[in-house]
Amino acid sequence: MRWNVPNILTIIRLFAAPGVAIMFLYFARPWADWYAMTLFILAAITDFFDGYLARKWGQESRFGAMLDPIADKAMVVIALLVITGVSGMNPWILLPATMILFREVFVSGLREFLGDKAKLLQVTKLAKWKTTAQMVAIAVLFAQGVFEHYFFMHSYGMDPQMVADILSGEEEDILGLGWSYFGMNHSFTLGVVLLWIAGVLTFVTGYDYFRKAVPYLRDEK
């Protein structure tokens, strides 16, 4: 194992994955949302830099090649579990999250079964776009949690008519309900759309991996 900058960044990303969930154990919302979102975004940025620096500095290694996809999967899987939980099992989030989790387990199982032949399941450009879509969607959905918490926190104790009057502009918006309501709705819509796009790409890449593996799954006659 080589202790170089790219590999250290990958290890940091791996340990940041459970850190996203831990934020909700030790901090109250919205601070937990802020910390989880910040940690996830910083970890996602390292996903670009570790590969870029490894190629630029000629520091590519088998250890890094092995650990990089594991760190990516750990980040996505744990973050999706957290978001699904804090969203109250919202079906618009639960369904694509289930597709993504199923695909990750399925492809990991294929790789383990194929053993030395797993090299035929090389990461494609579409798979990289899939990972990017997943990470952007998750970051946006964490942001949605921040906006949502501020909106309900600032509107606490107000009757529905007062909230409606503030949002319509009939009453002065002293607490900033407008921007938190706007951010809550639009970040949710954008995050869900991106998550469904990631879910579709996940299905397509998973099927592509299965198609490539089929010849090695047939029983010998």
Q: Is residue 107 part of a domain?
A: yes
Query: What CATH number did the domain enclosing 95 receive?
Result: 1.20.120
Query: How many of the other CB atoms lie within 10 Å of CB of 65?
Result: 13
- Distances in whole angstroms, Cα of residue 52 to Cα of each of 68, 69, 125: 12, 15, 15
Q: Scanning the structure block, which residue is given the tokens 């799954």? A: 217
Domain total of the chain? 1
pLDDT for residue 121: 65
For residue 206, the model assigns a pLDDT of: 86
Whether 93 and 87 have beta carbons less than 8 Å apart is answered as yes
**Cα–Cα distance measured from residue 190 to residue 118, given in angstroms and rounded to the nearest whole number:** 35
175 within some domain: yes
| Residue 145 lies inside a defined structural domain of this protein | yes
In a domain, 221, yes or no: no
Asked if 135 and 75 touch (Cβ cutoff 8 Å), the reply is: yes
Which class for 142: exposed (0-12), middle (13-18), buried (19 or more C-beta within 10 A)?
buried
pLDDT of residue 186: 92
**Structural domain that includes position 210:** 5-216
Q: Tell me what pLDDT residue 81 has.
A: 92
Intervals of the chain under pLDDT 50: none
- Residue 198 domain-assigned (yes or no): yes
| 39 domain-assigned | yes
| Domain contains 58 | yes
